[in-house]
């Protein structure tokens, strides 16, 4: 990985320059960690820059919760805070917050899983209909082959990108149920993750 | 400096100045944009992982902290744990759908240490074999279903 050379990294001294204006953190935005700019406070008492909170609310429009405590939150339920020194303060919520480049580039596709409790940022395609097998079928197939290079999955050609749903359910061995199911996006591309 | 870099600088500053127990940022691993970190963590005392050392790899997009970081175990020692796949992927809801921009590298590390600490039996996830064979390299591409937060 290109990060271990040390020569291209800023020195530690650069990183540790203290930020004197917000030493104790009381008025730091809970998102950017800077002193809140155009501050708003939620009903649950958590402080944010309006632009930071606005960006978060747009990130998850269908599940607007306080980043700190997960209480419900919305544009209409935050209170702008006006300090001394500005005789005609403007409600920050009336301003269109600057949006970072690229934020709107992802299409807001409607996610068929939203009703199932998925986060739904629209990056994934799902296909039902193939491969919704009970875990046990896969388990027996695969355990036989453990330790050896696996054969192609049953009834799935080695398509470059194919998704299927696999579920597993077990328990309650310890008095708990654990159902871990995952939807796998198959990428048979070469190369390694930088972390491997 | 982008907002992502600013925020990560702040986090780095806090974590190097006042590191939480058992968690230390590997500062040699940091890229200049701070978009990749390696964090060394230690199994907590009096737990199944006491004395073991692990490495977590973090990758951040420019949309951090609105986008969750990609977090996985890397390196030679991957903990054997019911929520940790042998390829390092971690089944932990705060890494995907329960992510919040008020979370941080530090809080993620502490959650993972705590997840290890509460483990009662070292065992792989039951679906490990099929998962590691079929998953994307990016654990964020897995749609996890979280039904059990007790381990
Ligand atoms: Zn902010
Ligand atoms: Zn709150």
B109 is catalytic: no
Output the CATH code of domain B3-150.
3.10.110.10
Q: Is residue A10 part of a domain?
A: no
What residues does each domain of chain B span? 3-150
Q: Domain of A35: which CATH number?
A: 3.30.40.10
* Total count of domains within chain A: 2
**DSSP code at position B5:** H
Q: Is residue A139 part of a domain?
A: yes
Q: Is residue A171 part of a domain?
A: yes
Give every residue of chain A whose pLDDT is below 50, as ranges: 1-22, 98-106, 108, 110-196
Q: Which of residues 112-131 of A touch B (CB under 8 A)?
A: 113, 117-119, 124, 126
Phi-psi map region of A85: left, alpha, beta (phi>0 left; psi -120 to 50 alpha): left
- Distance CA(A76)–CA(A92), nearest Å, equals 12
Contact residues, chain A, for B72 at CB < 8 Å: 195
Q: Is residue A155 part of a domain?
A: yes
Cβ distance of A185 and B62 shorter than 8 Å: no
pLDDT of residue A156: 40
Contact residues, chain A, for B28 at CB < 8 Å: 4, 6
| Residue A91 sits in the same domain as residue A149 | no
| Residue A44 sits in the same domain as residue A90 | yes
Q: Is the pTM of this model over 0.90?
A: no
**Where does residue B144 rank: exposed (0-12), middle (13-18), buried (19+ CB within 10 A)?**
buried
| Residue A39 sits in the same domain as residue A91 | yes
Q: Is residue A193 part of a domain?
A: no
pLDDT of residue A23: 54
| Residue A69 sits in the same domain as residue A34 | yes
Please state, rounded to an integer, the average pLDDT across all residues of chain B: 93
Q: Is residue A54 part of a domain?
A: yes
Q: For residue range B85-130, list pLDDT tens digits in order.
A: 999 999 999 999 999 999 999 999 999 999 999 999 999 999 999 9
Q: Is residue A163 part of a domain?
A: yes
B3-17 helix and B105-117 helix, angle to the nearest 10 degrees: 50
Element (H, E) at A39: strand A39-42
User: Is B84 in contact with B71 (CB distance < 8 Å)?
Assistant: no
The complex's ipTM?
A: 0.90
pLDDT of residue A133: 35
User: Is A73 in contact with A44 (CB distance < 8 Å)?
Assistant: yes
| Residue A24 sits in the same domain as residue A90 | yes
The last residue of one of the domains, among A80, A95, A110, is A95
Neighbours of A107 (CB within 10 A): 8
| Residue A82 sits in the same domain as residue A46 | yes
Task: Residue A44: give the domain boundaries.
Answer: 19-95
Percent of chain B with pLDDT over 90: 86
Query: Of A180, A181, A183, A190, which to mutate for an interface test with B (greatest number of B Cβ within 10 Å)?
Result: A180
**DSSP code at position B142:** S
Q: Is residue A128 part of a domain?
A: yes
């Amino acid at each position: 990985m290109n990060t271990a050379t040390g020569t291209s990294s800023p020195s530690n001294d650069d990183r540790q320059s203290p930020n004197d204006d917000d030493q104790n953190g009381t008025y730091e935005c809970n998102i950017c960690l800077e002193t809140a700019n155009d501050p708003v406070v939620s009903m649950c008492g958590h402080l944010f820059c309006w632009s930071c909170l606005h960006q978060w609310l747009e990130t998850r429009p269908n599940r607007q919760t306080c980043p700190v405590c997960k209480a419900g939150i919305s544009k209409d339920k935050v209170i702008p805070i006006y300090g001394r020194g500005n005789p005609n303060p403007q409600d920050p919520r009336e301003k269109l917050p600057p949006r970072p480049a690229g934020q709107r580039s992802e299409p807001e596709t409607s996610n068929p899983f939203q009703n199932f409790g998925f986060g739904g940022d629209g990056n994934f395609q799902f296909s039902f209909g193939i491969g919704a097998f009970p875990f046990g079928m896969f388990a027996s197939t695969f355990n036989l082959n453990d330790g050896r290079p696996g054969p192609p999955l049953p009834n799935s050609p080695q398509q470059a990108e194919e998704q299927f749903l696999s579920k597993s359910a077990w328990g309650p061995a310890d008095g708990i149920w654990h159902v871990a199911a995952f939807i796998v996006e198959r990428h048979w591309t070469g190369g390694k993750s930088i972390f491997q | 400096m982008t907002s992502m870099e600013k925020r990560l600088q702040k986090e780095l500053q806090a974590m190097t100045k006042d590191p939480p127990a058992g968690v230390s940022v590997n500062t040699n691993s940091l890229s200049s944009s701070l978009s990749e970190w390696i964090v060394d963590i230690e199994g907590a005392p009096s737990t199944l992982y006491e004395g073991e050392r692990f490495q977590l790899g973090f990758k951040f997009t420019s949309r951090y902290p609105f986008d969750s970081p990609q977090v996985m175990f890397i390196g030679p020692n991957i903990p054997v744990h019911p929520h940790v796949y042998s390829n390092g992927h971690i089944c932990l809801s705060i890494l995907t759908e329960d992510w919040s921009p008020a979370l941080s590298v530090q809080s993620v590390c502490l959650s993972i240490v705590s997840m290890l600490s509460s483990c009662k039996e070292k065992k792989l996830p039951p679906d490990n074999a099929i998962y590691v064979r079929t998953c994307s390299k990016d654990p964020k591409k897995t749609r996890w279903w979280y039904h059990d937060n007790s381990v």
